[in-house]
């Protein structure tokens, strides 16, 4: 088991899903992948398919259209899995809190391991959030 | 026999989810259908429930990538409603952050476009250089992405004289790397092979389908709101409107890259000419009944706002039409007759404000069998 845990800690693959946010968080997440911040030094990579992913990174206030999809993606991911909510949107709805088409918070729909507050959070904060989750694994 | 290839709506590579349905015959795309609405949050309705000042922050979050142009447009529309003019210095600061935003948006586009054609080194290089613009934006506005600089009646933060040398140094570095990218687009074999004669939009089609922004300019339509309908202080600055004739993905890239150089020139001029003075004025926000239309040139094209006031501190109606909305109509024309391998780069060539095409499933319309492809596999698709 020790070896498997070590491998999991050293290569957490991310799946990113925007549930209707403004894309501010999304570009900061991508910025975290690029040379200045370079999360790949922790073995972190962005993947395209939920079946490859260990950590689901969610941005946005969860529109009604996106709700079923986020649940479906979560169910498709293999165990063990974790969810990180990036930005104020999935935590508190941010500026969209009273819009008619959003169903925040995220933890009503899927279990969340960590929140990274900010609108948008800086890439450093996002990396910090991911590392916090890794400590738990 | 035709196949249906649905792309999306889930797993955005980057941004908002959208849904594309491609009908293919062998390799050739014969039809395409697009469905919107996965990110519908109800912003226009929420705008009516808040007052003018609060709306600025909601408007800013319509799109994180081009937030400054949204707030500038909104503030200008409300200033028009209230019949006030912001101070001169505020207009200069607006132009500086607007153009820095255009540079960041185009570099972001360049990076993702390189990723779509499998050129990941260029993706990393472009985003490395983009960090310089982000630094400048952080220096001026205090935040990397959402700047919160604009407000009704002016701007909230000044550009200090000590900051000017840093800004100019940053611009010099950006100019060097942009020139390198232009060289690359003119000479690299991979880029030329993947981008030339792909996703062509002719000048006629661009006119008929009302394309805007770099998409239209790459097809030879000479349009730019900054020149045709100058706002802020664009009439006092000199810059060129970049056009190309080819209308393919390559032309769209070159237009955007050369626009970065123009933007750098604009910021340089604005920083030099900036007058001393106040940066905002007080505006009475109980605006009597009035209506206003405002247009600006966003990085992706013409952004259009309509605002109606009703005598209270809340707007009666604010309507927004974004450039992607205008450009989506052209997508079909660009795809017809193309091949499956072109899908990612051609979708991205309009610089859509969404990128949720991570998951593709091919449906055999005869047997009903479905098989899934990720966008990554799609990128590797070869004849
Ligand atoms: S938290 Fe802020 S920046 Fe992030 S998606 Fe929501 S509104 Fe945009």
* CB atoms closer than 10 angstroms to residue A124: 11
Q: pLDDT digit of tens for each residue in chain A (137 aa)?
A: 678 777 777 788 888 888 888 888 888 988 988 888 888 888 888 877 788 888 889 888 888 878 888 888 888 888 888 899 999 988 888 888 888 888 888 888 889 999 999 888 999 999 999 888 888 76
In a domain, B213, yes or no: yes
Same domain, B275 and B305: yes
Same domain, B315 and B337: no
Q: What part of B 16-55 touches A (C-beta under 8 Å)?
A: 16-17, 37-43, 45-46, 49
Determine whether the interchain pair A119/B11 forms a contact, defined as Cβ–Cβ distance below 8 Å: no
The residue-averaged pLDDT of B29-36 equals: 72
Same domain, B259 and B371: no
| pLDDT over 80 (residue B228) | yes
The residue-averaged pLDDT of B45-52 equals: 88
Interface mutation target, options B39, B107, B357, chain A, most CBs of A under 10 Å: B39
**CATH code: domain of residue B15:** 3.30.390
For residue B366, what pLDDT is reported? 37
Residue B35, both tokens: 């469905």
The residue-averaged pLDDT of B267-291 equals: 91
The residue-averaged pLDDT of B367-373 equals: 39
Same domain, B275 and B248: yes
For residue A42, what pLDDT is reported? 84
In a domain, B45, yes or no: no
Picking from B268, B301, B321, the residue at the C-terminal end of a domain is: B321
User: How many CA atoms within 13 Å lie on the side-chain side of B35?
Assistant: 12
| pLDDT over 60 (residue B375) | no
**Reduced 3-state DSSP string for B271-340:** HHHCCCCCCECCCCCCCCCEEEEEEEEECCEEEEEEEEECCCCCEEEEEEECHHHHHHHHHHHHHCCCEH
CA of A68 to the centre of ligand 1 (A): 20
For residue B17, what pLDDT is reported? 59
In a domain, B46, yes or no: no
In a domain, B44, yes or no: no
Interface mutation target, options B9, B71, B128, B145, chain A, most CBs of A under 10 Å: B145
Q: Which band of pLDDT confidence, cut at 50, 70 and 90, is reported for residue B19?
A: low
Eight-class DSSP state of A129: H
Domain A10-136 class, CATH top level: alpha beta
Same domain, B125 and B65: yes
Q: What is the DSSP string of B117-186?
A: TT-HHHHHHHHHHHHHHHHHHHHHHS-SS----EETTEESSPPPTTHHHHHHHHHHHHHHHHHHHHHHHH
Q: What is the pTM of this model?
A: 0.88
* CB atoms closer than 10 angstroms to residue B248: 20
CA of B367 to the centre of ligand 1 (A): 43
Q: Which band of pLDDT confidence, cut at 50, 70 and 90, is reported for residue B2?
A: low
With H, G, I as helix, E, B as strand and everything else as coil, classify residue B368.
coil
Q: How many domains does chain B have?
A: 2
The residue-averaged pLDDT of B15-39 equals: 69
Same domain, B341 and B356: yes
Picking from B321, B349, B374, the residue at the C-terminal end of a domain is: B321
Least confident of B179-183, B188-192, B334-338: B334-338
* CB atoms closer than 10 angstroms to residue B306: 14
Determine whether the interchain pair A119/B14 forms a contact, defined as Cβ–Cβ distance below 8 Å: no
For residue B358, what pLDDT is reported? 29
Same domain, B17 and B126: no
**CATH code: domain of residue B211:** 1.10.645.10
- Percent of chain B scoring above 90 in pLDDT: 33
Residue B120, both tokens: 């990941």
CA of B238 to the centre of ligand 1 (A): 35
Least confident of B226-240, B288-302, B326-340: B326-340
Residue numbers of the domain that contains B271: 51-321
């Amino acid at each position: 088991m020790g070896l498997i845990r070590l491998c999991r800690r050293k290569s957490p693959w991310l799946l990113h899903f925007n549930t209707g946010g403004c894309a501010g968080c999304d570009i900061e997440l991508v910025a975290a992948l690029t040379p200045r911040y370079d999360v790949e030094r922790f073995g972190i990579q962005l993947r395209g398919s939920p079946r490859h992913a260990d950590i689901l990174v969610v941005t946005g206030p969860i529109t009604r259209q996106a709700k079923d999809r986020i649940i479906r993606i979560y169910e498709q991911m293999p165990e063990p899995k974790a969810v990180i909510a990036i930005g104020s949107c999935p935590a508190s709805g941010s500026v969209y809190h009273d819009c008619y088409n959003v169903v925040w918070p995220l933890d009503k729909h899927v279990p969340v391991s960590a929140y990274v507050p900010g609108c948008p959070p800086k890439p450093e904060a996002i990396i910090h959030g991911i590392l916090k989750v890794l400590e738990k694994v | 026999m035709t196949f249906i290839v649905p792309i999306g709506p889930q797993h955005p590579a980057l941004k908002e989810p959208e849904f594309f349905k491609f009908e293919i015959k062998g390799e050739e795309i014969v039809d395409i259908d697009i469905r919107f609405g996965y990110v519908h949050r109800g912003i226009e309705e929420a705008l009516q429930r808040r007052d003018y000042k609060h709306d600025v922050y909601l408007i800013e979050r319509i799109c994180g990538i081009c937030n400054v142009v949204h707030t500038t447009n909104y503030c200008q529309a409300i200033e028009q409603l209230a019949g006030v003019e912001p101070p001169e210095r505020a207009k200069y600061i607006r132009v500086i952050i607007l153009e820095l935003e255009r540079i960041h948006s185009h570099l972001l586009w360049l990076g993702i476009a390189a990723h779509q054609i499998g050129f990941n080194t260029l993706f990393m290089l472009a985003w490395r250089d983009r960090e310089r613009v982000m630094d400048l934006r952080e220096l001026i506005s205090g935040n990397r992405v959402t700047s919160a600089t604009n407000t009704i009646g002016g701007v909230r933060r000044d550009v200090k004289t000590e900051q000017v040398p840093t800004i100019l140094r940053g611009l010099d570095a950006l100019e060097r790397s942009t020139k390198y990218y232009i060289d690359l687009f003119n000479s690299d074999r991979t880029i030329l092979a993947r981008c030339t004669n792909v996703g062509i939009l002719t000048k006629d089609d661009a006119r008929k389908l009302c394309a805007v922004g770099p998409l239209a300019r790459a097809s030879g339509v000479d349009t730019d709101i900054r020149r045709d309908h100058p706002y802020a202080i664009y009439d006092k600055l000199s810059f060129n409107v970049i056009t190309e004739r080819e209308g393919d993905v390559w032309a769209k890239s070159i237009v955007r890259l050369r626009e970065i150089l123009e933007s750098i020139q604009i910021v340089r001029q604005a920083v030099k000419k900036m007058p001393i003075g106040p940066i905002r004025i007080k505006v009475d926000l109980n605006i009597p009944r009035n209506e206003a239309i405002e247009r600006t040139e966003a990085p992706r094209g013409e952004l259009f706002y309509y605002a109606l006031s009703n005598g209270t501190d809340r707007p009666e109606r604010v309507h927004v039409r974004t450039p992607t909305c205008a450009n989506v109509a052209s997508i079909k024309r660009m795809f017809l007759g193309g091949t499956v391998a072109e899908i990612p780069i051609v979708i991205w060539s309009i610089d859509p404000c969404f990128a949720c095409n991570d998951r593709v499933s091919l449906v055999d319309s005869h047997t009903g069998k479905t098989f899934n492809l990720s966008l990554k596999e799609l990128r590797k698709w070869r004849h």
